[in-house]
A and B are shown apart, each in its own frame.
Chain A
Amino acid sequence: MSAEQLLSSVPHADTIIVADLEAGIGTLTRLPEQAVEHTLVVVEPTPRSIDVGMRAVAVATEREQGHVTVLASKVADDADDARVRTAFADHDVVTIPTDPIVVNADRQGLSPMDLDASAPAVEAIGSLVGQLTQ
Chain B
Amino acid sequence: MRVAVVGKGGSGKTSVSGIFARALARAGHHVVGLDCDTNPNLGLSLGVGDMETERLLSLRDQIDEGEQSHAHTWEDILEAYGTDAPDGVRLTVVNRIDDPEPD
Residues of chain A whose beta carbon lies under 8 Å from any beta carbon of chain B: 1-4, 6-7, 9-12, 14-31, 35-44, 48-49, 52-53, 56, 60, 65-66, 71, 73-74, 96, 102, 105-106, 109-114, 121-122, 125-126, 128-129, 132-133
- Neighbouring A residues of B86 by C-beta, 8 Å: 111, 113-114
Q: A43 touches which one: B7, B14, B30, B103 (CB < 8 A)?
A: B7
- Neighbouring A residues of B9 by C-beta, 8 Å: 23-24
21 A-B contacts (beta carbon < 8 Å): A1-B77, A3-B34, A4-B98, A7-B4, A10-B34, A16-B30, A18-B32, A21-B6, A22-B38, A22-B101, A22-B103, A23-B39, A27-B6, A37-B3, A42-B13, A42-B16, A48-B8, A49-B7, A110-B44, A113-B22, A133-B24
Query: 3 closest pairs, A vs B, by CB?
Result: A111-B47, A26-B101, A23-B9
Chain A contact residues: helix, strand, loop or mixed: mixed
Interface size on B, residues (CB 8 A): 60
Interface 1/0s, chain B 26-39, versus A by CB < 8 A?
Answer: 01011111111111
